[in-house]
Amino acid sequence: MGMIPTELASIDGPRVETRWRRIVTPIPAPATLPMIERLRALEPRSMTGMSPIWWHKAEGFLVSDGQGNQWIDLTSGIVVANVGHAHPRICEAIRRALDQKLLATYAFPALQRANLLEKLVHLSPIPDSKALLYSGGTEATESAILLMRRHGRSLHPKKIGILSFLDGYHGRTMSASLASGVPQKADWIQRQQVHHYQIPFPFCLHNPWKQERNEPCNRACFDQCVIHLHQEGIGPEHIAGIIVEPMPGWTTWPIPTDFAQAMADWARQNDILICFDEVQSGCGRTGKFYAHEHIGVVPDLIALGKGLSSSLPVSAVLGPKWLMDQPAPGEMSTTHGGNPVCAAAALENLCIIEDEQLVKASETTGKLVLEQLRKIQEDNPHRILSVHGRGLFISMHFNRPGSTKPDSALADAVAHEAIRRGVMMFPTGRGYIKFTPPLCIDPEAALEAVEVIRQCIQLVCES
Residue 171 as a binder of ligand PLP (CB under 6 A): the answer is yes
Binding mask 77-116 for ligand PLP (x = CB under 6 A): ----------------------------------------
Element containing residue 141 per DSSP (H, E): helix 137-155
Contact assessment for residue 302 and residue 318, using Cβ atoms and an 8 Å cutoff: yes
Stretch that binds ligand PLP, among 134-142, 190-198, 220-228, 285-293 (CB under 6 A): 134-142
Q: Which of 87, 113, 159, 170 binds ligand PLP (CB under 6 A)?
A: 170
Q: How far apart are CA 255 and CA 100, in angstroms?
A: 44
Binding mask 245-264 for ligand PLP (x = CB under 6 A): x---x---------------
| Cβ at position 250, least distance to ligand PLP in Å | 9
Residue 124 as a binder of ligand PLP (CB under 6 A): the answer is no
* Residue closer to ligand PLP (CB basis): 247 or 410: 247
Residue 28 as a binder of ligand PLP (CB under 6 A): the answer is no
Partners of 399 in the β-ladder: 406
DSSP state of 188: T
Residue 277 as a binder of ligand PLP (CB under 6 A): the answer is yes
Residue 52 as a binder of ligand PLP (CB under 6 A): the answer is no
- The amino acid sitting at 144 is A
Q: How far apart are CA 120 and CA 413, in angstroms?
A: 40
Q: What is the DSSP string of 380-391?
A: -TTTEEEEEEET
Residue 366 as a binder of ligand PLP (CB under 6 A): the answer is no
Stretch that binds ligand PLP, among 201-209, 225-233, 276-284, 342-350 (CB under 6 A): 276-284
Q: Which of 25, 124, 141, 428 binds ligand PLP (CB under 6 A)?
A: 141
Q: Based on the number of CB atoms within 10 Å of its own CB, is 408 exposed (0-12), middle (13-18) or buried (19 or more)?
A: middle
Residue 167 as a binder of ligand PLP (CB under 6 A): the answer is no
Q: Based on the number of CB atoms within 10 Å of its own CB, is 208 exposed (0-12), middle (13-18) or buried (19 or more)?
A: middle
What totals of helices (H) and strands (E) does the chain contain, helices first? 13, 16
The residues that touch ligand PLP, with contacts defined as CB under 6 A, are 136-138, 141, 169-171, 245, 249, 277, 279-280, 305
